[in-house]
Amino acid sequence: MQLEFDILHALQTIHNDILDSIMLFVTRLGDGGFIWIVAGLLLLLIPAVGKESKEHARERRIAGLMILLTLVVEALIVNIGIKNIVGRLRPFQVDTSVIPLITPGETSFPSGHTASSFAAATAVFLYKKKPGTIALILATAIAFTRLYLFVHFPTDVLAGMIIGIVVAVLMNRFVKPAIVNKINTKMNERLEK
């Protein structure tokens, strides 16, 4: 735990008003998975755009659905499951000499912001690499803010990253084929009528 505090205290030395404002803005993008829910809903609900083919629009909608489903599964695992079982205190609750800029209430392990960000960003990456890379950069920025703001230990963030990525990969491997199969079956039934 001392190494984790060494990392967190080193980050406290780079604080300034401008960086604080940026970090608060970026971390709020991850509040409740907000940015990721919006992205999933946009992909899911926007109809075919311009010359976009029906097939491409269908793939985009499936990607949106996968982001949202991945977020639900990740939230159940992290917020309902692991956080309640582990019950780890946050860094500012252990080292009260640091006054954080935000004071989230629930427990620390794993980082929910990080888990949801990496779950959604990985789902985007599995859909399309270029926007997925941008999403992974944003997820990394959100994860970093949790350390900068002294609300998570590095192992909280690392665990959140791993959980988010694993959930997204497993959802893509096992749930997405079932969804695609169901959609294809319904489309075939409509064609036969």
Total structural domains in the chain? 1
Burial class (CB in 10 A: 0-12, 13-18, 19+), 3: exposed
Give pTM, 2 decimals. 0.92
Residue range of the domain that includes 71: 2-192
Question: What CATH number is attached to the domain comprising 15?
Answer: 1.10.606.20
- CB 30, CB 142: distance < 8 Å: yes
- 98 closest CA partner among 149, 145, 23: 149
Instruction: State the pLDDT at residue 41.
Output: 96
Rounded average pLDDT per 10-residue block, the chain, 193 residues: 93 96 96 95 85 82 95 96 94 93 90 97 96 97 98 98 98 93 75 64
The CA-based angle 185-170-30, given to 5 degrees, is 110
Calculate the alpha carbon distances from 28 to 4, 25, 117, 145, 181 in Å: 23, 5, 12, 10, 37
Tokens of 131: 């926007």
Residue 190 is predicted with a pLDDT of 66
Check: CB of residue 168 under 8 Å from CB of residue 67.
Answer: no
pLDDT recorded at residue 122: 98
pLDDT at residue 187, as a whole number: 66
State the Cα–Cα distance between residues 110 and 88, nearest whole angstrom: 9
Q: 101 near 63, Cβ under 8 Å?
A: no
